[in-house]
């Protein structure tokens, strides 16, 4: 006995379903719910996500039992709408749409006006006394069905329409009459025969099952797979299919269709935001084939548009819509994204879902909704995607600089970006692979472009509104976007676009500002962002709930300052080698490395010492009473050696040696596998004088801070790449010896602790023995991932994607911690270390310290802190609060 898998929107069994969304998909669940709230929803039914799985197991065919259920529900709709499917007097027309459990805007297929054929189109024409409308609906159906089910490119049909309009001398589709559409329908059918060697199907049942199958198949389309991969949506979820009675926005001037948000999805302002088109179908608004009008009078006036807003053109329907917006927001307790149609002045609701929004809007909406008592502080924190916060901390255009503005469009997704112009998603992806910034320029983006939109720094389209595919996807990805820029004319053939008198070719640089909709020639400098009061409020709330401390990885005064401003509670990783690459110092570093004798080496170290001391002093002062973990020299020495002839000669002169001697010494130091070579604590064992100089610099910096009465940081000295307890014992003794020496000399007590970085599997397994000599463990998960998986981070780009595609890894293990392997080693080391040493402090300082999923794992293990790059600090603060709340 099979479970019930087909449900009408008003089915009483829906109420009893557990996890409705997983079975009915988001769209179906919300349609049923809107019906229950008494809103006007056209009758329809849902084919559940379970059928998607059955369909794929059944060789991509619908089983006869399910076909029977569908036909039963179809009879139901016929009864409710008093129309009959395929009838020659009063035909029922339906739409077939996808509905995954999480909204995937534009990623899967939709077919409207299904049930039209050469005969029913005449019946529709008679019934509505509107031949133009009937033929317009038929040509749309042929176009969509051919694209979705028969796989014929939509542009081929668009070209036929454009050419026809040119011949007739008209600009807009709405200027074509019934006989024009008749001619085009004939051309469309000929195109289908030419492309697919079949006639357009006239049997309405064949149309229906073709459409349902196509929606299930679109779950596995390339664009849907890419979207799922980018948003970590599991492949096995599948999609539901919604079959619904058609209502028409294209029957004349008392009809319209629109998309609206209950608040502004770009800024979060509490004001209705949306667009509509008179005499059109929903796809026209979303696909951006016509540039739509504003819903509210206020928005119309602000944009300087002369065309009437919906509030002015359809005041009665607008008032009704306004009440529905308020009702839906109260019910769902979130900002809603709504699709509606008006047929002969009657309003119908076609969809509601939680709206995609920018990071800035998400924060404002969450804080406002707490003030409005719609949601709690906890819910507000859980609603914001930590990964999107970084977009708020990034630059906007410098107002003071002269800009050459060549075009403007709609400000669809905020932020500023400069890059080379590319006209295809593939080119954007290719250049991104070569570390080049690009701006993807398209007439309108389609879901096929998703990989290029992700690779580009920004998106510019010449058609489409604020609710078009480009706008919605860009906002979700945090990419700046300017849409519907009618000022630009794009020519894909010659790979250039024209804006007024300017011609911009592929590869030339432009800047777009998604906040103002402006397009500029060349690169425009940017300025540091202003952090809003709403942002600070959310951060304050997050700090109330989180247990995990958040530190930063920084070794310059500038980075330290930024991290403090973003709320860092200390430094979890200060890499001392970064201080060596300064031009003034690199020569002394090279002298130190290339010296043959200890006395020569000490002379070079003496020169480096004051520089290191000043660096530490700056950082300790900025970190004002907070912990700073200083990692002693870690990379292999050859990284500092001269590469060019000129540099070799300079070092030779400074050491009074011949260039050949220097080259021989460089060859001597060469390593086959430096990553596992003479580095980290191994350098400290071989050349203790290097670590002695670094410790002296640290302790003297602390002494100077004390003498100047400035509140200094608490130094935590970290020994890298330890794999045995003895390495740590020997080097801890060295640190203590230098500390004692400095304290006696200055008659001052210095506060410091010594710990190690756990970045080798053996160290994790030997944590009990190692923790005898450690006050803290910091997990260096970048290297721990490399040494555990035996994968070099620098070379993994060539094959890691294949591993993710084959589900060997769910995600790149250098981005999100591999919980089963690397994670288990972290857990083992934490447990064994703390068993031996109850006071052992535990933290993580790899890139994973800024990844929300990894932070949740650290919180679960009970680590004391995570450390990440300065711009990720707010991300980590929010993710740590969410991890705590989810526990």
Residues with catalytic annotation? Answer: 469, 845
Structure tokens at 350: 């076609």
Q: Report CA 727 to chain centroid distance, whole Å.
A: 43
Tell me if residue 303 falls in helix, strand or coil.
helix
Q: Is 535 exposed, middle or buried (0-12, 13-18, 19+ CB in 10 A)?
A: buried
Residue 719 pairs in a beta bridge with 756
Give residue 623's region: left, alpha or beta (phi > 0; psi -120 to 50). Answer: alpha
Cα–Cα distance between 137 and 118 in angstroms, integer? 12
Tokens 């339906």 appear where? 94
Structure tokens at 85: 């499917």
In sequence order, what DSSP letters do the residues of 203-264 get, joined into one string? Answer: -HHHHHHHHHHHHHHHTTSHHHHHHHHHTT--GGG-EEEEEEE---S-SSTT-EEEEEESS-
Cβ-based neighbour number of residue 293 at 10 Å: 24
Cα–Cα distance between 805 and 670 in angstroms, integer? 37
Q: Is 316 exposed, middle or buried (0-12, 13-18, 19+ CB in 10 A)?
A: exposed
φ and ψ at 388, to 5 degrees?
-80, -15
Cα 98–Cα 99–Cα 102 angle in degrees, nearest 5:
140
Structure tokens at 828: 């083992």
Residues 6+ apart with CB under 8 A from 26: 99, 100, 101, 102, 103, 353
Tell me if residue 695 falls in helix, strand or coil.
helix
Tell me if residue 769 falls in helix, strand or coil.
helix
Cβ-based neighbour number of residue 565 at 10 Å: 13
Q: Nearest Cα to 833, choosing from 861, 867, 857, 853?
A: 861
φ and ψ at 114, to 5 degrees?
-70, 140
Structure tokens at 694: 């670094």
Cα–Cα distance between 543 and 268 in angstroms, integer? 23
Structure tokens at 328: 């839906």
Cα–Cα distance between 113 and 115 in angstroms, integer? 6
Q: Nearest Cα to 615, choosing from 679, 529, 701?
A: 701
Helix axes of 64-81 and 204-218: crossing angle, nearest 10 degrees: 110
Cβ-based neighbour number of residue 653 at 10 Å: 12
Residues 6+ apart with CB under 8 A from 156: 191, 195
Helix (H) or strand (E) holding 787: helix 781-789
Q: Nearest Cα to 837, choosing from 779, 775, 780?
A: 775
Cα–Cα distance between 142 and 201 in angstroms, integer? 9
User: Do the Cβ atoms of 660 and 645 come closer than 8 Å?
Assistant: no
In sequence order, what DSSP letters do the residues of 403-470 get, joined into one string? Answer: --EEEE-EEEE--EEEEEEESSHHHHHHHHHTT--EEEEESS--GGGHHHHHHSSEEEESS--TTSHH
Tell me if residue 358 falls in helix, strand or coil.
coil
Number of residues assigned to the chain: 887
Characterize 595-611 residue by residue with b for buried, 16 or more Cβ atoms within 10 angstroms of its Cβ, and e for exposed.
beeeeebeebbeebbeb
Q: Nearest Cα to 290, choosing from 111, 165, 413?
A: 165
Rg from Cα positions in the chain? 32
């Amino acid at each position: 006995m099979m479970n019930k898998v087909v449900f009408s929107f008003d089915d009483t069994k829906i109420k009893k379903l557990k996890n409705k969304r997983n079975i009915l998909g988001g769209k179906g669940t919300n349609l049923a719910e809107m019906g229950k709230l008494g809103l006007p929803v056209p009758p329809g039914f849902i084919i559940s996500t379970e059928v998607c799985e059955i369909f794929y197991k059944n060789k991509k065919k619908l089983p006869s039992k399910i076909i029977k259920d569908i036909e039963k529900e179809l009879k139901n709709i016929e009864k409710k709408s008093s129309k009959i499917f395929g009838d020659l007097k009063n035909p029922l027309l339906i739409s077939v749409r996808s509905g995954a459990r999480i909204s995937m805007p534009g990623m899967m297929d939709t077919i409207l006006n299904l049930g039209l054929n050469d005969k029913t189109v005449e019946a529709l024409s008679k019934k509505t006394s509107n031949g133009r409308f009937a033929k317009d609906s038929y040509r749309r159906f042929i176009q969509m069905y051919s694209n979705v089910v028969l796989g014929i490119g939509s542009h081929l049909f668009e070209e036929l329409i454009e050419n026809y309009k040119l011949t007739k001398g008209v600009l807009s589709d709405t200027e074509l009459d019934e006989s024009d559409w008749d001619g085009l329908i004939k051309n469309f059918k000929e195109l289908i025969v030419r492309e697919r060697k079949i006639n357009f199907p006239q049997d309405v049942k064949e149309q229906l099952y073709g459409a349902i199958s196509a929606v299930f198949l679109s779950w596995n389309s390339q664009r849907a797979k890419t979207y799922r991969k980018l948003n970590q949506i599991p492949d096995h979820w599948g999609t539901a299919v919604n079959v619904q009675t058609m209502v028409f926005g294209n029957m004349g001037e008392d009809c319209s269709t629109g998309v609206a948000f209950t608040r502004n999805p770009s800024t979060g302002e509490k004001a209705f935001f949306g667009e509509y088109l008179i005499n059109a179908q929903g796809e026209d608004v979303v696909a951006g084939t016509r540039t739509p009008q504003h819903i509210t009078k206020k928005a119309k006036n602000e944009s300087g548009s002369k065309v009437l807003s919906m509030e002015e053109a359809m005041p009665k329907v607008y008032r009704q819509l306004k009440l529905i917006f308020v009702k839906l927001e109260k019910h769902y307790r979130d900002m809603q994204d709504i699709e509606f149609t008006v047929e002969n002045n009657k309003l119908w609701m076609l969809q509601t879902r939680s709206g995609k929004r920018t990071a800035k809007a998400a924060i404002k909406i969450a804080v406002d909704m707490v003030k409005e008592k719609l949601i709690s502080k906890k819910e507000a924190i859980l609603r914001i995607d930590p990964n999107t916060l970084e977009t708020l901390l990034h630059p906007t255009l410098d107002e003071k600089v002269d800009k050459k503005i060549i075009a403007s469009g709609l400000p669809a997704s905020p932020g500023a970006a400069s890059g080379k112009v590319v006209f295809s998603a593939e080119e954007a992806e290719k250049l991104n692979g070569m570390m080049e910034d690009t701006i993807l320029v398209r007439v309108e983006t389609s879901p096929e472009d998703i990989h290029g939109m992700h690779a580009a720094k920004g998106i510019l389209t010449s058609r489409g509104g604020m609710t078009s595919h480009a706008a919605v996807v860009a906002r979700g990805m945090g990419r700046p976007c300017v849409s519907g820029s009618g000022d630009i004319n794009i020519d894909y053939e010659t790979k250039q676009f024209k804006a007024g008198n300017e011609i911009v070719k592929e590869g030339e640089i432009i800047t777009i500002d998604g906040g103002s909709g402006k397009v500029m020639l060349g690169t425009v400098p940017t300025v540091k962002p202003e952090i809003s009061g709403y942002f600070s409020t959310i951060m304050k709330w997050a700090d109330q709930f989180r247990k995990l401390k958040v530190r930063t990885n920084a070794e310059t005064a500038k980075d330290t300052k930024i991290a403090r401003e973003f709320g860092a509670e200390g430094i979890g990783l200060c890499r001392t080698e970064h201080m060596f690459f300064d031009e003034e110092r690199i020569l002394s570093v090279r002298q130190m490395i290339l010296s043959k004798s200890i006395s020569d080496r000490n002379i070079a170290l003496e020169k480096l010492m004051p520089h290191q001391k000043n660096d530490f002093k700056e950082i300790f002062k900025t970190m004002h009473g907070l912990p700073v973990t200083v990692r002693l020299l870690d990379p292999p020495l050859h990284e500092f050696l001269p590469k060019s002839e000129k540099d070799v000669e300079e070092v030779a002169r400074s050491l009074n040696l011949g260039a050949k001697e220097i080259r021989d010494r460089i060859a001597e130091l060469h390593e086959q596998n430096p990553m596992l070579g003479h580095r980290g604590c191994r350098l400290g064992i071989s050349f203790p004088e290097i670590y002695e100089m670094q410790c002296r610099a640290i302790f003297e910096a602390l002494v100077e801070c004390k003498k100047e009465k400035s509140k200094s940081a608490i130094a935590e000295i970290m020994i890298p790449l330890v794999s045995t307890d003895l390495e740590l014992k020997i080097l801890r003794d060295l640190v203590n010896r230098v500390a004692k020496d400095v304290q006696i000399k200055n008659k001052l007590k210095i506060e410091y602790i010594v710990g190690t970085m756990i970045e080798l599997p053996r160290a994790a397994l030997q944590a009990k023995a190692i923790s005898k000599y450690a006050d803290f463990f910091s997990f260096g998960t970048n290297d721990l991932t490399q040494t555990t998986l035996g994968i070099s981070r620098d070379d993994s780009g060539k094959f890691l994607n294949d591993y993710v595609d084959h589900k060997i890894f769910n995600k790149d293990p250098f981005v999100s911690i591999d919980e089963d392997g690397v994670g288990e080693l972290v857990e083992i080391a934490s447990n064994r270390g703390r068993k031996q040493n109850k006071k052992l402090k535990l933290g993580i300082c790899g890139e994973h310290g800024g990844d929300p999923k990894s932070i949740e794992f650290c919180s679960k293990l009970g680590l004391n802190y995570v450390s990440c790059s300065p711009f990720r600090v707010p991300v980590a603060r929010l993710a740590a609060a969410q991890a705590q709340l989810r526990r």
